[in-house]
Amino acid sequence: MDRLGSRQLDQFRDLGYVAPLDVLSPERAMVLLDAIDDYLAAEAVLDTFDLTDPILIREVVGDDGGKRFEYADVPNPAPTVFPFFFNIWRHDDRFREVAFDPGPAVVAKQLLGADEVLLMEDNIVVKEPHTGPVPFHQDYSYWPLDRPSAVTLWIALGDMDAARGSMQIVPRSHLLGERLPVSFGDGRSLMAEHWPHATEVPTAPDADGHELHSYEFTSGQGGFHDAMVWHGSTPNTSYLRRSAYVIRYVVAGSIWQGGVRMPYDDIDCAPGEPLTESHFPRVADAASSCTCTMGGASVAHRARRLRLHLWRPSRRYRATRWRRGRRCGGRLHRTARRRPAGVARRPRRR
Ligand SMILES: O=C(O)CCC(=O)C(=O)O
């Protein structure tokens, strides 16, 4: 992936995002799509939950008398329609290679004006056919960081437009201050009583007079957005599964806030300390060329894109049979955990 030019950097500063960018070749995108298909077909998952699971955040007082927030389990009888994979790079080399590719990471450094960036997390976001929107939200509100010095790279796996459930961005909204996190299932704002400094993201920003920009990408293209920009995605009204690979980069030296600000994984980093590289590895040390980008589409590329477009949505996958605890063809390096009956998957967000 090439470094950005000054016009693209200006676009990012002005609008809060920059797109479209050639991030992956269609072939590489196809490899990731096949990987996702494998995971879903095998019903074996890593740290995965349904993005639309109900979210409940409660305040607890620790032994030291300090207050912090944690997620509470909420029973959710609804079938999984919105699989969300978390930190897949830890388990699968096909994703790790992209997450550690210096090309996109160098662009993240350019956008953040940083000497070093860390990989905060990666995600796969799958929208099954005929599933709803992702409500507008701001990524920073889900992160226990002391500053919004982070960017998200959203990569389309498969050709993408609004009918397929693509991303929508509210340009310039990154300049409008901190907002409350949103529960993705019902669009409810969270933390209102605890974060008096933050206001809600409008549920329909266009009805409030804001512009909307939509991502229309061919497979492998992507866009970077600012941690403060409002964005969401349209319903997937097509008969095709929609998949995206998402990488989040954060400036090295950012301070971890932990549950004092927002629940997250338990990690080896105490609140008030800089992010630990054992959990948030450093990327972008290498040169800026990206080995996985193949910009110009050859005839073969286009043929594969067409195949992607016609890709059958559920070769082996049965949405209703989605659950934890199965083997995944020996690909996983970690034993899947079985959730006790009646207990919802623990919600976790970016
Ligand atoms: O993929 C989607 O539908 C939404 C993803 C998103 O909001 C994000 O990655 O920040």
Q: Is 329 inside any structural domain?
A: no
Nearby residues of 245 by Cβ (< 8 Å), 6 or more positions away: 32, 95, 98, 122, 123, 124, 155, 157
| Rounded-to-integer distance, Cα 312 and Cα 298, Å | 23
In this prediction, residue 43 carries a pLDDT of 52
Q: Is 284 inside any structural domain?
A: yes
Q: Is 344 inside any structural domain?
A: no
The atom of ligand 1 lying closest to the CA of 244 is: 1
pLDDT in tens, 275-332: 998 899 999 764 433 333 323 333 333 333 333 322 222 333 323 233 332 222 222 2
Domains: count for the chain: 1
Q: Is 41 inside any structural domain?
A: yes
In this prediction, residue 191 carries a pLDDT of 81
Q: Is 297 inside any structural domain?
A: yes
pLDDT at 22 over 90: yes
Q: Is 63 inside any structural domain?
A: yes
Please state, for a pLDDT cut of 70, what percent of the chain lies above it: 75
In this prediction, residue 314 carries a pLDDT of 31
Q: Is 186 inside any structural domain?
A: yes
Q: How many angstroms separate the alpha carbon of residue 125 from the centre of ligand 1?
A: 7
User: What average pLDDT is seen over the chain?
Assistant: 79
- Which residues line the pocket of ligand 1, CB cutoff 6 A? 125, 134, 139, 152, 154, 167, 231, 233, 244, 246, 350
What CATH number is given to the structural domain containing 49?
A: 2.60.120.620
The atom of ligand 1 lying closest to the CA of 166 is: 3
In this prediction, residue 153 carries a pLDDT of 98
Is the distance from CB of 188 to CB of 182 less than 8 angstroms?
A: yes
Q: Is 337 inside any structural domain?
A: no
The protein residue with its alpha carbon nearest to ligand 1, atom 3, reads: 233
* Rg, Å, the chain Cα set: 19
- 10 Å Cβ neighbour count for 262? 24
- Residues 238-266, mean pLDDT to the nearest whole number: 91
The domain containing residue 58 runs over which residues? 6-321
Q: What is the pTM of this model?
A: 0.79
Residue type, 228: M
The atom of ligand 1 lying closest to the CA of 125 is: 1
pLDDT in tens, 193-251: 888 899 999 999 999 999 999 999 999 999 999 999 999 999 999 999 999 999 999 99
In this prediction, residue 79 carries a pLDDT of 63
CA 337 to chain centre: 22
Ligand 1 pocket test, pick from 155, 161, 233, 245 with the greatest ligand atom count within 8 Å of Cβ, gives 233
The atom of ligand 1 lying closest to the CA of 154 is: 9
